[in-house]
Structure 1
Amino acid sequence: MEEIKSKTLYQALWNSADILRSKMDANEYKSYLLGLVFYKFLSDKMLIHAASLLEEPTTDLEVAQKVYAKAYQDEDVKGDLLGELQYDFSYTLEPNLTFTALVQAIHKGLFQLEDLVQGFRNIEQSSETFENLFEDVDLYSKKLGSTPQKQNQSIAEVMKELSVLDVAGHDGDMLGDAYEYLIGEFASNSGKKAGEFYTPQAISTLMTRIVLDGKENQKGFSVYDPTMGSGSLLLNVKKYSNQAGTISYFGQELNTSTYNLARMNMILHGVDTANQHLSNADTLDQDWPTDEPTNFDGVLMNPPYSAKWTAEKGFLDDPRFSMYSVLAPKSKADFAFLLHGFYHLKDSGVMAIVLPHGVLFRGNTEGKIRKILLDNGAIDTVIGLPSNIFFNTSIPTTVIILKKNRSKKDVLFIDASNEFEKGKNQNVLKDEHIDKMLETYIQREGVEKYAHLASFKEIVENDYNLNIPRYVDTFEEEEEISLVELSGAMQQTQQELQQAEQNLFAMLNELKGTNGDVNKELQYFIQVFGLGGGKNE
């Protein structure tokens, strides 16, 4: 039943996007669609809860709307009701501004965009949690229509499509998962821009399970993602922890639109606002967080690959980078992101970061940083992933696992580059591929043509180069070929070719031209073909 509900939910969400597809690209219309989905989520939850508080519980939004509107008119009831709703949700909506009321107005031809704008404003001003949350939903954009009337119509059509969603009938996780599903769809349809804020679920799962391994029952687990995108990596921890309600989430994102998506995503997944610590700023430019806590049980990162950064000399005095005496190059910030995340890892914590393979073997300052990390035993595991599994790049990537205060300096190499199922647009990691990687990581033993536990001595002998093929030999010996069998097969093939030629020539001889000239041409062609074949006269 839940699976059917999910499919209906996904389909309804996707259908509603059709209206805007012709007007703007996916990276733009996702802001409208996801903003409206979120507004409906907040509205529906409030209505259902209001009906319950008024002792007329129902999951029918039309009924709940009537109950709420009636109570709102009663001055003796209104104050206490709004106070309860504000306490429970940190926001309230007037009866005429609920999603349900606005859709009713649409059907009556009375809908005005100004009412939806006011609803957005009411939510944003009700609490710091919701501040500027809808700033990317420009309801007066010319892309929605050249006139106010056309803009009104476009939004009304989208809202009608979304009105079928049974938000209140699902828990927060269900809608949150649908939300992530949609982000994934947008990422695959709008290319690099959308792909920047989405990590495929399979990669999220692998990294999360590694970081959480052995700590599934830990209360108060803290997780940090300084390049959080839409927050999918952070939220995955919730799925694999047995103490999900106690997790503290710390995340930072440079792009304001994407930062707002992460905020919505947290709320949709039912994360208590007290457990959300999110920041909208440049992670490398200015360290965050600098107030307690600053170190975390788990660090999860999928930063933009080989991005540019300032690499100003002043960063050499920054505690995140100072012990390495050099900085990541201006043209490739990969190690700057890695060192930032590692700096914020607890001594007992685990960090997982996705980066391009270049970080494993590039020289100069990157080589110096890599050497210090290896000398300190910081790099625990290197996992080579298949190519073409991300929405925004086809290059193969690597997941690097880092830890502090390790007693050994060995490195486990896992070559999973051939472990995938070919998909239509992207290669796909299946559960069995993830399980195999995770099991190999936990066992920490060599597996023929798949994994190798390299001693520190081996690492040094390879000049601190971590290129995976140096350690994991995946070369397959070709089977020896019997020359006797090969010559027999060649003779057989030759005989079959001769027989095919004879059959074709016999068929040509049966052909007759429609007149004398055509017949002459045909006979000439047969003669040439026969001579060319060398078998027939």
Structure 2
Amino acid sequence: MALKKSDLYSSLWAGADELRGGMDASQYKDYVLTLLFVKYVSDKVKADPYADVEVPEGGSFDDLVALKGKADVGEQVNVAIRRLADANDLQGIINTADFDDPDKLGKGKELVDRLTKLIGIFQDLDFSGSKAEGDDLLGDAYEYLMRHFASESGKSKGQFYTPAEVSRVMASLIGIKPDTPKSATVYDPTCGSGSLLLKVADAAPNGLTIYGQEKDNATRALAVMNMHLHGNGTADIRQGDTITSPQFTWSDESLQLFDFLVANPPFSVKSWSSGLENNYGRFDGYARPPEKNGDYAFLLHMIKSLKSTGKGAVILPHGVLFRGNSEATIRKELIKRGYIKGIIGLPANLFYGTGIPACIIVLDKEDAQARTGIFMIDASKGFTKDGNKNRLRPRDTHQIVDTFVNQKTIDRYSRMVPVTEIADPKNDFNLNIPRYIDSSEPEDIQDLGAHINGGIPNRDLDALQPYWDAFPALRSTLFKPLREGYSELAVDKTDVPATITGSNEYQALVARSNQAIKKWWDAHREALRGITPTTRPNELIAELGKSLLETFRPSPLIDEYGVYERLMTYWNDVMHDDVALVMSEGWDDAAMPRSARILGYDKNKKPKYELAHITFGTGTKAQRWVMDLVPPELIVARCFAKEQAELDAQDAAVEAAGQAIEEYVEEHAVEEGLLFDATDDDGKVTNKTATARLRAAKAEGDDGEEIKVLVHVIGLFKAETAAKKATKEARLKLDQLTLKQYAQLTTADIQSLVINDKWGARVVAGVHAERGALIQKLVQRLNVLGARYEQTVVDLDAEVDELSAKVAEHLAAMGVTL
């Protein structure tokens, strides 16, 4: 069966788990990624004898499998990987990890067992149907490992990876066009594991010619492997310090120039100038960067490395925007030359190795002298928490790109800032974003006049203008004038939600949005039905997302980015795996039930199975069925609604029987109650204890009341048992009918179930949820305003007087005179 993204991720992280303890994350990533590479290229050659990689005899993953359990497994794995490296000119790239290192992997049997398990984990994966250059499943897996390794490597070793979301944003900002030729060059002078370069190349329809430099040789090895895994094996990745020893130079010692540039250099390096002998003209015309901070040294290197029409994007700490002295001098010159096209402020805690906020500086030398402004975006508020880091959501990345590319002015988010404003003496070429964009939320002002005299200030209602634009008559329905500048609710507070949702205007919005989502989905049905092995999932979801944004962009009130976020979340969670299954197996085979896989074994060597949708029997002999593409509930909803209703009724009967027992026992099992003697050591009454007590009561000749109660409760237990039996039989019948129905499905049935009932229903539900959230937000705000000014100062004074009178009355009754 096809390899699902979720399964691949869990298997790879299980591989990492096998190596924990003996080394930290910055080391064990080399072992896991090396085996991932060997497995991938071995499977690739099996599937394609003409692949651009050679797997020599004794250098395949099958050869590693043959070494499992052998005493010299570590030594022989090193030999096999070295053979693969020699055959493909990858010496020092894939054979950097020592699989025979007792200090990291253990000694003797411990090392043998650990490597045997590790090889076994990769052995169960099948990459023969995966293409990194197509679906990018393997590339995504590499990204997954990079992210997790970076997260666990600590502050000093997590800088080899740029979060994929940030990389995609940068790739979209540097001006790659549909007709940009593959011969166009892209350069990253601090390329780390190469993920940023690959995202840029992926954004170019024709690809790009890739160049990169990385100071750390082990990290360079990761980058070279990454390039091969993504089908960019010709990328030129070199090792060395970019500032003191740039590798891409001409014979006259001038820097090589590139069409595009992206970089995420280490922040604020203090020793950047150590060993610096040749400036390569990088600082000519500028001040020299400060000796204890290398941010501008990297930036000037990048600017010098761009052609006269070159474009780039670089991540730097916010300090470069406002720090003084020599950095202020450099910044002023860059602004005057027009090289800075835009600045995007990012959320804090996005990057590994630091928690400080950073920004993307967009560079563009083309027509730089004619540039009269810098486009700024404050995107610092848009993110989600992911463990101990923050991450950009799909909606955040898309909004940044859409806003920048189209130069949209959005209140408290983005605007074009004229150079004249930046150069004004009050700003003095300071680029700190808050100087030009106030992203703070408006203060929620308390109105003293309203607190004293009542009413809701009209200015608070005016702040909800987007709702009144969407529902022009709603404001006058909900509110009526009270006095100049103030209004009051025309309906009861509890009736506000129903008044909104019951209005004709809201119903019209619902109808329009429902029609819009239906029209959008209908327009893509044919493309979804046409999924084949050649489908490119990333392009498919990109088109779906783009057209969804276009569909809801003109819609009043509904946030198109919120709808987009719900689609992308569902794609990442479910739909991507479904598409991969259909690509690999076709609609018919992908929909068929399969036996649940064994995930491992417990300490008693009993198998642990993946969660099954339908199970017949128990234990190791049970039949466990998994339905990856078409879950049973879809079949039941369409074909067996009557049987499901019967099962629901049986479930309700079981619940009612249990409730009856609980209520009866609670009434009679109290101390000195008629069921008290039927309780066990935990104070519970069971069928067993009640039956035993009934026998004893009869033998003791007790009065009839206790026997009557015992007989009744035993009857309740029997009724519950009978209900459970009926439920079990009904569930078994439904499961059997459902399993049998899969064999009756036609291709058209499967496509309808998946496209309409599974994918379509979930996307429509997402739109409904987004619409509901917007209305809930309005209701909450109106409730806050209504409650805030519901009682005036006069009302409160009257209430105080009333309570004071009551206190005085009670005191007088007690003989206390005030």
Same fold (TM over 0.5): yes
Partner SS for 2:174:
helix
Give the alignment partner of residue 427 of structure 1, picking from 356, 365, 390. 390
Q: Is the 8 A contact 2:244 2:278 kept in 1?
A: no
Q: Distance in 1 between matches of 2:199 and 2:292?
A: 31
* Compared CA separation, residues 349 and 117, structure 1 to 2 (3 A): same
Give the alignment partner of residue 101 of structure 2, picking from 141, 158, 162. 141
Give the alignment partner of residue 466 of structure 1, picking from 431, 434, 459. 431
* Compared CA separation, residues 231 and 448, structure 1 to 2 (3 A): same
Equivalent residue, structure 2, for 1:154:
114
* Compared CA separation, residues 333 and 317, structure 1 to 2 (3 A): closer
Partner SS for 1:106:
coil
Matches for 1:302-341 after TM superposition, within 5 Å: 302-311=264-273, 318-324=280-286, 326-341=287-302
Equivalent residue, structure 2, for 1:516:
none
Equivalent residue, structure 2, for 1:211:
174
Kindly state the Cα deviation for residue 480 of structure 1 after the two structures are TM-superposed. 3.5
Equivalent residue, structure 2, for 1:364:
325
Structure 1 residues not aligned, in runs of 5+: 51-84, 503-529
Matches for 1:343-492 after TM superposition, within 5 Å: 343-404=304-365, 405-406=367-368, 407-461=370-424, 462-483=427-448, 485-486=450-451, 488=791
Q: Distance in 2 between matches of 1:226 and 1:379?
A: 19
Give the alignment partner of residue 285 of structure 1, picking from 225, 244, 250. 244
Equivalent residue, structure 1, for 2:165:
202
Equivalent residue, structure 1, for 2:520:
none
Matches for 1:228-307 after TM superposition, within 5 Å: 228-244=191-207, 247-273=208-234, 276-291=235-250, 294-307=256-269
* Compared CA separation, residues 316 and 155, structure 1 to 2 (3 A): closer
Kindly state the Cα deviation for residue 299 of structure 1 after the two structures are TM-superposed. 0.4
Q: Distance in 2 between matches of 1:350 and 1:306?
A: 23
Structure 2 residues not aligned, in runs of 5+: 453-790
Q: Is the 8 A contact 1:300 1:351 kept in 2?
A: yes
Q: Supply the AA of the counterpart residue of 2:399.
A: K
Kindly state the Cα deviation for residue 393 of structure 1 after the two structures are TM-superposed. 1.7
Kindly state the Cα deviation for residue 356 of structure 1 after the two structures are TM-superposed. 0.5
Equivalent residue, structure 2, for 1:522:
none
Kindly state the Cα deviation for residue 383 of structure 1 after the two structures are TM-superposed. 0.8
Q: Supply the AA of the counterpart residue of 1:340.
A: H
* Compared CA separation, residues 271 and 313, structure 1 to 2 (3 A): closer
Q: Is the 8 A contact 1:192 1:392 kept in 2?
A: yes
* Compared CA separation, residues 29 and 322, structure 1 to 2 (3 A): same
Which entry has the higher C-alpha Rg, 1 or 2? 2
Task: Write out per-residue CA displacement over residues 97-122 of structure 1, whole angstroms, 9 at most, x where no aligned residue.
Answer: 42123314426x57632321111221
Q: Distance in 2 between matches of 1:137 and 1:316?
A: 35
Q: Is the 8 A contact 2:224 2:233 kept in 1?
A: no
Partner SS for 1:348:
strand
* Compared CA separation, residues 317 and 112, structure 1 to 2 (3 A): closer
* Compared CA separation, residues 437 and 92, structure 1 to 2 (3 A): closer
- The TM-score normalised by the length of structure 1 is 0.78
Task: Write out per-residue CA displacement over residues 376-416 of structure 1, whole angstroms, 9 at most, x where no aligned residue.
Answer: 11111111111111232221111001111421241111111
Partner SS for 2:45:
helix
Q: Distance in 1 between matches of 2:798 and 2:324?
A: 55
Measured on the aligned residues, the alpha-carbon RMSD in Å equals: 2.9
| 2:96 is equivalent to residue 131 of structure 1 | no
Q: Distance in 1 between matches of 2:306 and 2:355?
A: 30
Q: Is the 8 A contact 2:346 2:360 kept in 1?
A: yes
Q: Is the 8 A contact 2:244 2:273 kept in 1?
A: no
* Compared CA separation, residues 317 and 21, structure 1 to 2 (3 A): closer
Q: Distance in 2 between matches of 1:311 and 1:189?
A: 30
Q: Distance in 2 between matches of 1:156 and 1:216?
A: 49
Q: Distance in 2 between matches of 1:5 and 1:371?
A: 51
Q: Is the 8 A contact 2:63 2:80 kept in 1?
A: no
Matches for 1:84-233 after TM superposition, within 5 Å: 89=52, 91-94=54-57, 96-106=58-68, 109=70, 112-128=73-89, 130-172=90-132, 173-215=136-178, 217-233=180-196
Equivalent residue, structure 2, for 1:28:
27
**Taking every aligned residue pair, what percent have the same amino acid on both sides?**
35
* Compared CA separation, residues 494 and 111, structure 1 to 2 (3 A): farther
Task: Write out per-residue CA displacement over residues 287-346 of structure 1, whole angstroms, 9 at most, x where no aligned residue.
Answer: 23113992112100000000123437976853122221x321122100011111111112
Partner SS for 2:386:
coil
Equivalent residue, structure 2, for 1:11:
10
